[in-house]
Every structure is written in C-alpha cells, then in structure tokens.
Structure 1
C-alpha cells in the first residue's frame, strides 16, 4: 500500500509540472458548473432571485445573448494573447539564459491557474448560451447563469492584469535566479534533515551481484524505508550505483547486491524508485547548480556580454555551495536488522569542479569576474563543513583559478589585484 501511494505521489508530481494540468482541470470544472447551473435553473432559481434582486437580472433574451457573446469573444482574445505571452516568455528565457529553465517556468502554478480560469469561463459561457432563446419571456431567461457569466468575465479581466504584472516579473533574471535558489535550498535542507543516518564505512562492491535497468530515465525519488525492508527480507546489503538526479541509461548497471537476488526482488527494488524523462530543481538540487552556472556562462559570452548577470549568478552559487557543504558526500541507511543501503552521490569535489571548469573557461579573461570567483572560493573556505576534504577541494580550485587567470590576463595591475584575493 505504501508503494502504491508513493507511485501516485510521483505521478502527480510529474503531471503537475505540465502547463496543461491545471487548465485542463479547471476547464472540466467549468463544464460541470455549467451543468449544475442548468439544473438549478430548471428548479426555478432565477425566478426566485428575480423577485428579490430584479436589478441584477437580464430581462430580455436578445440582451442576454449579446452580453454573453461579447464576453465570450473577449475572453477568447485574452486567452490567445495570454498564451502568446507565455510562449514569448519561454522563448526569451531559452535564448537569453538557458533552455534548462523552461520546465521550471512552465510549472509556474500562477500562469496555469490564470489560463485555467480563462478556459473554465469560456466553456461555462458556451454551455450557458445553449440554454437561452431570444424569444424567452422575463421569467424563462436563466438570469443567474447570465449573471455568473458576467462575474466570471470580470474575474478574468482582473486576473489578466495580474498576469501581465506577473509575467513581466518572471522574465527578470533576478527573479529567475531567486526562484531557482529557493527551490534548490529547500531541497538541500530537506536532504540534510533526512540524511541523519549512520555514516560508517561501506564495503567495496566490486564483487557484488550487478543488475541492469530495463528502461532508462532521470533518477528522481526513492522510497528508502521500502528498500530497507527488502534488504531485511533477503538479508543483503544494496548499493544504488547512479546518483540521484542523474540520468540512468537502459541496460546500465543500476543496482548491486551483496547476495544474489531473483528477478522478483530486483523488480521490487526498482518499483520503489521513480524515473522521469525531465528534470526539476525541486527534485534535484544539482540541476540548480547547472542552471545558474549556465546563466553565468551565457551572460559572459560575446553575444550577450552581461557581466552583471554573471556576478549575480555567482552570488547565488556562493549561497548554494555554502548550504551543500553542510551535507555529507556519502550516507549509509541502516535497516531494523542492521542491513545497509547506500546511494551513489555527486561528491562536493566533483560538483565544485564541474561548476568551476565552466566558469574558468568563460571568465578567466575578465579581471572583475576572476576577483568575484576568488572571493566566492575564499568565502567558502572559511565556512563550517561536514567533511574536512571540502576545504582542500576549495583550495585546489583557488590555485587552478589563479594559474589560469595569470595566463589569460595581460595587465600586471590586474594580476597583482587578483593575487591579494587569491591567497587570503
């Protein structure tokens, strides 16, 4: 039962990030609400409201058709314009910053809810128009349904104003960086809180039994408790060979077990791991480092030439690295019967090298950027860490950055300026 709920949660988490998810749900809600209003109108709801609030009721069938038709045409135009704005936002973000940003922007619930409100209102008004006859008498017109259509239209106009404001904010690089940073930091803090298990040494797995995946995908989530139960049941230790968040190719070795497992047991382990064809920062904090690094690198390219954006990106990388230093490279999970499981991870050394390799390549010729990167590394060097090796990894990156900067910079003044920062 637990595995079933995990599957449902992973499926919902994946589908929720699609741009059509909330609009589809709200469109169905608009259709159902239209049917409900038709039923209530058959029960004489408009007649009762007409006697109490006659000024709010439309008393002529032609007038009702005209009002709803105008509302329908205006809403369709607004929806088309809104979708065009979303597509423009995605195109601009992809061209100016990074294509990796698109899943995060598409999954913005505010945009989805506004588009869903437009679709729900349009469908509601269409079905309300079916119930109006031009020759209807005063008490035969579905006045409450018409009034609800007008209120929906007003709500869409108000939400459209908010949509324009929000989409103008969403394209600003500071807001994009801030959103990525917050999601990654929340994910890191969650991992730090949940990884407080044993950190004992794990045995060498070279001689263990290996098992391959039948279908590839991005390794997103895993049910640790369920797999530990499998370890107890089969009296074995398990090692997941691919780090969480990375792509696991089909027919690649993904699982190792100290004792041989039958196909049913392997399938049970894989069933407790979710794979996807895309990546989201809230599921994989490593993606945030990739995205922010790509933004900085693209900002320093000759076509963009925006060092201010690159400096902002390095500021966010500094905070993320500081948070990552509070997480261990390896954590071993222990079952009730003292059987262990470990998941491969991207070490801090690998992570900082991948980020710095890109930054050095595109920023080593700019003295201001070199100073900013060295400031980041020196700041990280004095931060508290979970493992002492992190300090040596940072010092190695400082030495490499200094060496490449001296080779790239031609001015002695620039070289002397970075020397004081590099060896603080």
Structure 2
C-alpha cells in the first residue's frame, strides 16, 4: 500500500504544473518523435481505412441506388463481381506493400554501408515513404472490411456500390503511388539528395537556436551581479539521474526549479554529450543568507528569493527537466545535424568508397551552415527568472527597471568547436587528398565573408594552418604540396586583408599560362 501511494505521488508530481512548465515544447518533442517513427503514419492510415469502411457502407444503405447507377464511374455489378474486385484489390495491395517494404530494407542496407548508420533515420522518417506504405495497408484494411459487408442474397442492399467504387479509386491511387515510390527512392539514395536533406535539417536547428538580432534587454540582464558572484556561493554537485545521451534540456522547468530553491543551476554538459550516472552534470549554487535578494521582500513580495538546500523533490524535478536517451537520436542538437554531413564525407574518403566529390559536396554544405551561424546571434548561456508585473505596486516601484534573477547557466558550444567537429574532422581524414584539402581552404575563405569579429578570423587562420600542415606531411608529390601551400598563402592574405572583396585562387602555372597568352608573339 505504501509503495502504491508513493508511486501515485510521483505520478502526480510528474503531471504537476511545476514539472510541465515546458509543456508546449514537450508536446512538440513528443509529436516529432511520433512523426519520426516508422509506424505512426502507416498505423494512422490503417485506422482511417477501418473508419471509412463502415461509414461508406452506412451511406450506401441510405443512398438512392438509381442515382448511383446513373453515375458513369460508379460500380453497379452484383455481389459476385463486388466480392471478386475487393478480393483482387486486397491481395494486390498487400503484395505491393510487401514489395515496397523489401525495397526500403534494401535501400537501408545500402545507405548504412555507404552513408553511415546515423543516416538511417532520415530514410525511416521519410514522410512520403511512410505515407505510401500506409496507403497500401490502409487500402488492404478497408477492402477486407468492405468485403465482409457484401451479402449474397440481399442484392438490393447487400452490395455497397459506393464503398466498392471508392476501393477501385484507391486501387488506382495505389498504382500511381507505387510509381512515385520507385521514382522517390531512386532520388533518395543519391548522395547529393542525402546531403541536401542533412543540410536542411541542420539549417532548421540553426534557425531555431540562433537569432537574427541581439536581445538588448537580455544583454542588460547579463550585467546582473549574480553573473559574476554566483560561483562563490555554496555549491552542490548535480549528478546525472541515469546513463545516456543528453537529448533535451527544458530551460523553463529548470528556471522554475532554481527559483523555488533560491539558487542558480549551472550545467556543464551540453546537448548530445554522453553522461553516466556518476557524471557531474553541473552544480546548484545556493544563494547565501546575506544576499540582498533576501531583503527585497521589504519592497515587493514577488521579487523575494528564499534559498533552501536541495532535497529529494529537487532531484526528482531535475530528472524531469532533462531528457536522456540510451542512444543518440535526432533532436535540436546542431552537432548531431552537422555530424551527419561529416559522417558522409568521412565515409566517402574511405578506401572502400573513395568518392572525394561527395566529400567536397559535404564541405560546401557545412560551409553554408557555419556561415549562417557566424552571422547570427548565438544562444546565450544565461537564463533569467523574470518576476511577473504586479499592478498593485506603488508607482515608484512599478517604474523601476526590470528585475531579472539569474537562474540557469548552460554550456553552449562556440563556433570554433563547430568548425573543428565538422570541417576539422574531414581534414583529419583527407590528409592525402589534394582536392578535398583545397576545398577546405576554399571553405575558410568562404567563411571569412561571414566573419563579424577578429576571434572568428583567428579561428579560420588556425584551421587553415592545420590544413597546410596536413597536406605538407601527407601529400605524395612535392608539386601537390607546393600547389596547396600557394593556395593557403593566398587564402591567408585574403583573410588578413579585410579590404579584399573577392577570393579566387590562381596557381603559379595558371598565372604563367595567362601571362604567356597575353604576350604578343614576335
């Protein structure tokens, strides 16, 4: 009895308003997880077929049959013809569904070996593929239920003519979907198409995390004294509730938790990192009793912060404020999205595949994503609790500047880390390929167009130095080394010279030929 009561209390806590502060985001993540599963859309199509069958049969029973016979496209045969048609449709669509499933498995096997296992999710979550399979098995379910409603001796009302007509129409649609499915799979297995989908996925996460403009009010909040002083407060380590990959951080829930316990939660782990149950994910800094926030109650009660030591309820609420998975799955993690393109490039550079063109395509797509990240406002690691506005306050207090209390501090990767984990990873595998190394040099100059500060330029120059060193130590011919070093020198001059507007590498041999062509012959 005690155990049941404890479990019930835990369930009530999970469903409480404090835990579900990020309810819209949690629902969005659940919906994306359902859409991303391979069974959801086909199951929904089966349910639609199961619901349509009795509805159309019921309409048939109350519909004027003479009117149906006047329709040129409607089925007007007897029960034997209707049963034969429905049996043929059910058997045909089920066989085609098996064929499409076999084709999908073959494509997944090829994609796993050529593009990497992390790209399998892109094929499994492809909505057109799921809808085609769902249309086949949904039509099969619908045909079985309509076949069940066809009676032998009651010809007048035993043949659901509209239902059979709709089944014929769905059979034609399924035939067209089969042609579309084959055409779609042919395009889906092309490397350029896979890279484009991965790039689109990364850009979606970048636009979600990075903002177009800077939040001026947030920059003012960052000047709060807690940002500088909270590291000196009494700290309690926060351990991971279980082992796994950090897939989601519900910031609003953590802000509410930190506010209720009167402190600051600092997370050292970022989305996508692996933790064990002994990992210190962060620290909870308890606000000291002498802090001035304790004395704000004399002015207004809704700004008062009363600190307390973390207890069992604190750890339960923290466990529901993050989402851990046993395996890395798709989320809003930008590293995961960029890593898909990096994995394609690394596999393309392997001796078994040896496709540098695909690797260059990945480099160009990664450059496009990183360029947008460099121009946009990165997410701030500081998250504040903003007390609600109280209309009952005196006018003097109501006109005071907004009070923001630091509650959560997260660990956000810098642009240099993204460059190293994407383009830098490709560089480490392309040390003996001049074509890819030159594409990486070109990427540094392309990213220079998006630089907004000197720190970003220093990152590009550092990566350019590593590219030159990789080619110098691993290229097989001295002529190739000279070519790469010449391009690196021109790229470095372009990055250092902020007045240059355009970069175009011209090799020494090409420059010599160009001058020779311009020299008039004697």
Please say if residues 7 and 274 of structure 1, whose CA atoms lie closer than 8 Å, have aligned partners that are also in contact: no
Cα deviation digits, residues 133-158 of structure 1 (max 9, x gap): 34442443111111111111111112
1:113 aligns with 2:131: yes
**What is the rounded CA distance, in whole Å, between the counterparts of 1:16 and 1:158 in structure 2?**
24
Cα deviation digits, residues 340-366 of structure 1 (max 9, x gap): 312112333333223344323321112
Task: Tell me which residue corresponds to 1:334.
Answer: 384
SS at match of 1:258: strand
**What is the rounded CA distance, in whole Å, between the counterparts of 1:381 and 1:340 in structure 2?**
36
**What is the rounded CA distance, in whole Å, between the counterparts of 1:39 and 1:251 in structure 2?**
61
**Displacement, 1:182?**
1.2
**What is the rounded CA distance, in whole Å, between the counterparts of 1:272 and 1:134 in structure 2?**
61
Match for 1:16 among 28, 35, 52? 35
Task: Tell me which residue corresponds to 1:344.
Answer: 411
Task: Tell me which residue corresponds to 1:165.
Answer: 183
SS at match of 1:305: coil
The 3 A distance-change label for structure 1 pair 238 and 184 is: same
**Displacement, 1:114?**
1.4
Task: Tell me which residue corresponds to 1:250.
Answer: 277
Task: Tell me which residue corresponds to 1:317.
Answer: 366
Higher RCO, Cα 8 Å, sep 6+:
1
Task: Tell me which residue corresponds to 2:445.
Answer: 378
The 3 A distance-change label for structure 1 pair 131 and 401 is: same
1:219 aligns with 2:246: yes
**What is the rounded CA distance, in whole Å, between the counterparts of 1:37 and 1:205 in structure 2?**
71
SS at match of 2:130: helix
Please say if residues 183 and 282 of structure 1, whose CA atoms lie closer than 8 Å, have aligned partners that are also in contact: no
More deviation, 188-197/168-177: 188-197
More deviation, 148-157/338-347: 338-347
Task: Tell me which residue corresponds to 1:300.
Answer: 349
Q: What TM-score, normalized to structure 2?
A: 0.75
Q: Pairwise mapping of residues 282-301 of structure 1 onto structure 2 (< 5 A)?
A: 283-301=332-350
Gaps of 5+ in 1: none
Q: Pairwise mapping of residues 1-400 of structure 1 onto structure 2 (< 5 A)?
A: 1=17, 2-3=20-21, 4-41=23-60, 43-45=61-63, 47=65, 49-50=67-68, 52-53=70-71, 56-193=74-211, 196=215, 197-198=218-219, 204=231, 208-259=235-286, 260-279=309-328, 283-325=332-374, 326-328=376-378, 331-336=381-386, 337-385=404-452, 388-400=454-466
**What is the rounded CA distance, in whole Å, between the counterparts of 2:64 and 2:131 in structure 1?**
30
The 3 A distance-change label for structure 1 pair 10 and 275 is: farther
Task: Tell me which residue corresponds to 2:294.
Answer: none
Please say if residues 267 and 410 of structure 2, whose CA atoms lie closer than 8 Å, have aligned partners that are also in contact: yes
Please say if residues 295 and 313 of structure 1, whose CA atoms lie closer than 8 Å, have aligned partners that are also in contact: yes
Q: What TM-score, normalized to structure 1?
A: 0.91
**What is the rounded CA distance, in whole Å, between the counterparts of 1:214 and 1:331 in structure 2?**
22
Please say if residues 60 and 138 of structure 1, whose CA atoms lie closer than 8 Å, have aligned partners that are also in contact: no
The 3 A distance-change label for structure 1 pair 50 and 357 is: closer
Instruction: Tell me the C-alpha RMSD between the 2 structures.
Output: 2.5
SS at match of 1:56: coil
**What is the rounded CA distance, in whole Å, between the counterparts of 1:404 and 1:143 in structure 2?**
73
The 3 A distance-change label for structure 1 pair 350 and 396 is: same
Q: Number of matched residues?
A: 422
SS at match of 1:221: strand
**Displacement, 1:62?**
1.0
**Displacement, 1:191?**
0.8
More deviation, 191-200/399-408: 191-200
Please say if residues 218 and 246 of structure 1, whose CA atoms lie closer than 8 Å, have aligned partners that are also in contact: yes
**Displacement, 1:338?**
1.6
The 3 A distance-change label for structure 1 pair 154 and 278 is: farther
More deviation, 21-30/317-326: 317-326
**Displacement, 1:17?**
0.7
The 3 A distance-change label for structure 1 pair 377 and 245 is: same
The 3 A distance-change label for structure 1 pair 72 and 294 is: same
The 3 A distance-change label for structure 1 pair 113 and 279 is: farther
The 3 A distance-change label for structure 1 pair 310 and 251 is: same
Please say if residues 292 and 317 of structure 1, whose CA atoms lie closer than 8 Å, have aligned partners that are also in contact: yes
1:414 aligns with 2:433: no
SS at match of 2:324: strand
Larger Rg: 2
**Displacement, 1:206?**
10
SS at match of 1:339: strand
Please say if residues 217 and 276 of structure 1, whose CA atoms lie closer than 8 Å, have aligned partners that are also in contact: yes
Please say if residues 28 and 120 of structure 1, whose CA atoms lie closer than 8 Å, have aligned partners that are also in contact: yes
**What is the rounded CA distance, in whole Å, between the counterparts of 2:326 and 2:241 in structure 1?**
15
